[in-house]
Structure 1
């Protein structure tokens, strides 16, 4: 089971090599056969042409009978093949080895000779069963009349044996190459399968929860890239796991603080006297504020859960985003004033209509302004700007607070990421803001320098559907 890929590789190599060698062997076998048979054919045709030329030049005035009984040597002396002389009907009149047959000879070379052609024929001797090749030529007298046929016959048994030996040699060679190929392909497959098996074991180890395990990178190839990817995935999981644990620890602390406060004041109020009105009022105010803070954190967690599971839906409608920015700034100004922070706004006077989810846009802006105020020190400033340009709405929230390092900027929008500063809380506010922006096909950019300040720029497209635009008109 473990070496399944190795077996497939060996089998594939063998099949490819065997098919290739088989094609080459068949081609070579046909080439050898053609070479042997073609040489014999050429020799027979050449001897036939010489014999017929001699007859035409010196003996064309003689009849077929004269040739048989007086001058048959003119045909016998020009070849080592078996020589036959036949009449016009194909009946055998003379055979150099004394073979006689009453059955007319009818191979294809006879039909070719009847048409004035000289062609070879390959087959078996009707009497002996021996493999032979024959050639037949028409004998014509000096008046151009056909008086019979001259036939040369040569055995091709030796040629067939040579071809058979060649075929056996090629088969042995093919088996030898197949053996060598199997051994080489086995070594190659092992070199390929070994890192794959190691990667599988590493993946199984990671599956069991041990993400510290790392895969070896043997070569800079596809398997090496897979190993690097697996290692990168392991590092990312470890990083996400660390961030998640930090988040759980942080959120547990964040939830515990208001709960402790609520419980503590509940105990104080329980033991309070009826005349301690101021104490009761302070306690109830603190309990209310802490309950609101707790509710806000729970709501953030619920929102975050909906975003990452893809269950969030937008309730889009047409609204004036300029007015929305004014409303949000009014809501956040008291908070800035309480922290002794100058709150600056710059909005266009004219209405800027946009088709979006107004409540989600408000949530986005409140998150960003809350962060800006939270991380800006006493007597600092926060600026909230909005503008319209080329079919887009640009909203910028800037501050002269503590800023962030380049490393923090690269992670600040990640889920569960919590900054190093003590004022950092759950680490999901910016993640939610980024998700809201993406759901509106917009873009959220963060520019920051440590101890100088931060600017967050949100760009949203003004996408008003045609049917909504027609209603306005």
Structure 2
């Protein structure tokens, strides 16, 4: 038992091609055999039924003729004087049988020593047409017998029985069956050839897909599956190609992220370590150097904290663990808070910053997340605007949406970089971002609010970032 189990486990697996061909052949064989059996059955049924119908018509005609013209004469006398009336209507063997089963007339001259007990005779005794098919004991041939009552003026006088050989009919049926079998074998051969070709047409593309998948699994993500059809295999090829492309992109993003984080961490850490060593070596004797060093250390620590915060925010969004905490929020209060916070930075960088709004509604949203978005967008505008420039925050209602527009007249974004600025870890030529995650995080927050974020920019002209947050006044009033 164990030996058999191990053999099954170690046996080479059947290929899809082998299984397809085997299944096709099994289905074809079963279908052809069933069809052949049905053809043979109906052929046999047709010929036998035809013979039965002919004998039935002949025996009824003879019985009716006897009843109409000879029923006034006793049966024994008719057999002697008018025997030809019983067989002139047919070429079959004619028998006249008494109710006791004694055969008193046989057109073939056969002497019957035993009483007749066949099923057709028994049915005729019950005044029904009797039909029987079987083998004649004396000759061994297959026969069909049809029995019918003979009636006179006084009632039934005996049973008329027509008997015919089925050997010739069976030979014809056998000949036709052989023709059907030959046709069936030919059909099976053609079907097997077609099955092999069909299995090849299915398996060959699968082999191509499987080969490409194995290369992808081994690390070659640049290989692509050639698609030459639009069926399920074609969709599988598209899926594998898309998967390889996404894995390659994610691998590139991972490498870029590691490179970026390494670089961004090294720069502030180098500054912090350098100034810490300078302060230690100086022994706190020079207060000016001490103050400069502490200021730089504080600034670099802030950069590190901001970078870590961006990475944590991004990680939460990607994992789906960050959920919105919506509550009724006064938008005017958010705008005032952001204006107050960003005005100091704008003044420090000698940039004119203003916020314009009027009669803003109180709607349901995550106030902290929206603050984060506005601070990030305004911070980007300040970062890319030269001293003496202008940054404007405009907030208004439009078509059941609350619209935030952050506009600046800074350096702008080139047409090549504009479609990519919201991608993760993207940093353009003029970017001063540490992680390249700011706009990606903002876009994710707005998407969670079912809103949209769009960017319009012209190089050396300025940029307009627009955020649209849809809201339903009826839903708002219901919640109030």
Provide the TM-score with structure 2 as the length reference: 0.86
Q: CA deviation at 1:262?
A: 1.6
SS of match in other structure, 1:460: strand
Per-residue CA deviation, residues 393-416 of structure 1 (Å, 9 max, x unaligned), is 322212223333455343332323
Q: Are the equivalent residues in 2 in contact too, given 1:125–1:131 (CA < 8 A)?
A: yes
> Following the alignment from structure 2 to structure 1, what is the Cα–Cα distance between the partners of residues 453 and 290?
45
Closer/same/farther in 2, CA of residues 381 and 36 from structure 1, 3 Å limit: same
- Is structure 2 residue 38 aligned with structure 1 residue 27? yes
Mapping for residues 328-407 of structure 1, pairs under 5 Å = 328-349=338-359, 352-389=361-398, 392-407=401-416
Q: CA deviation at 1:152?
A: 0.6
> Following the alignment from structure 2 to structure 1, what is the Cα–Cα distance between the partners of residues 188 and 242?
42
Identify the range of structure 1 (379-388 vs 46-55) with the bigger mean alpha-carbon deviation: 46-55
Q: Which of 266, 271, 275 in structure 2 is aligned with 1:261?
A: 271
What runs of 5+ residues in structure 2 fail to find an aligned partner?
Answer: 1-11
Q: CA deviation at 1:327?
A: 0.8
SS of match in other structure, 2:321: coil
Q: Are the equivalent residues in 1 in contact too, given 2:339–2:354 (CA < 8 A)?
A: no
Q: Which of 86, 91, 98 in structure 2 is aligned with 1:80?
A: 91
Look up the match of 2:322. 312
Look up the match of 1:325. 335
> Following the alignment from structure 1 to structure 2, what is the Cα–Cα distance between the partners of residues 164 and 48?
28
Q: Which of 413, 427, 430 in structure 1 is aligned with 2:439?
A: 430
Q: Are the equivalent residues in 1 in contact too, given 2:118–2:132 (CA < 8 A)?
A: no
Q: Which of 125, 129, 143 in structure 2 is aligned with 1:132?
A: 143
Look up the match of 2:308. 298
Closer/same/farther in 2, CA of residues 274 and 247 from structure 1, 3 Å limit: closer
Look up the match of 1:212. 222
Q: CA deviation at 1:84?
A: 0.4
The CA RMSD over aligned residues, in Å, is 3.0
How many matched pairs? 468
Mapping for residues 163-312 of structure 1, pairs under 5 Å = 163-272=173-282, 276-312=286-322
Closer/same/farther in 2, CA of residues 333 and 112 from structure 1, 3 Å limit: farther
Q: Are the equivalent residues in 1 in contact too, given 2:134–2:142 (CA < 8 A)?
A: yes
Q: CA deviation at 1:288?
A: 0.9
Per-residue CA deviation, residues 281-337 of structure 1 (Å, 9 max, x unaligned), is 122111111111111111111221222122223444433222112111221122223
SS of match in other structure, 1:379: coil
Q: Are the equivalent residues in 1 in contact too, given 2:100–2:115 (CA < 8 A)?
A: no
> Following the alignment from structure 1 to structure 2, what is the Cα–Cα distance between the partners of residues 468 and 409?
39
Closer/same/farther in 2, CA of residues 155 and 444 from structure 1, 3 Å limit: same
Provide the TM-score with structure 1 as the length reference: 0.88
> Following the alignment from structure 1 to structure 2, what is the Cα–Cα distance between the partners of residues 50 and 275?
144
Q: Are the equivalent residues in 2 in contact too, given 1:91–1:105 (CA < 8 A)?
A: no
What runs of 5+ residues in structure 1 fail to find an aligned partner?
Answer: none
Q: CA deviation at 1:104?
A: 4.0
Closer/same/farther in 2, CA of residues 222 and 299 from structure 1, 3 Å limit: same
> Following the alignment from structure 2 to structure 1, what is the Cα–Cα distance between the partners of residues 17 and 373?
56
Closer/same/farther in 2, CA of residues 204 and 360 from structure 1, 3 Å limit: same
> Following the alignment from structure 1 to structure 2, what is the Cα–Cα distance between the partners of residues 425 and 230?
34
Closer/same/farther in 2, CA of residues 103 and 408 from structure 1, 3 Å limit: farther
Q: CA deviation at 1:211?
A: 0.4
Look up the match of 1:99. 111
> Following the alignment from structure 1 to structure 2, what is the Cα–Cα distance between the partners of residues 382 and 368?
11
Q: Are the equivalent residues in 1 in contact too, given 2:93–2:107 (CA < 8 A)?
A: yes
Q: CA deviation at 1:345?
A: 0.9
Q: Are the equivalent residues in 2 in contact too, given 1:131–1:156 (CA < 8 A)?
A: yes
Identify the range of structure 1 (2-11 vs 303-312) with the bigger mean alpha-carbon deviation: 2-11
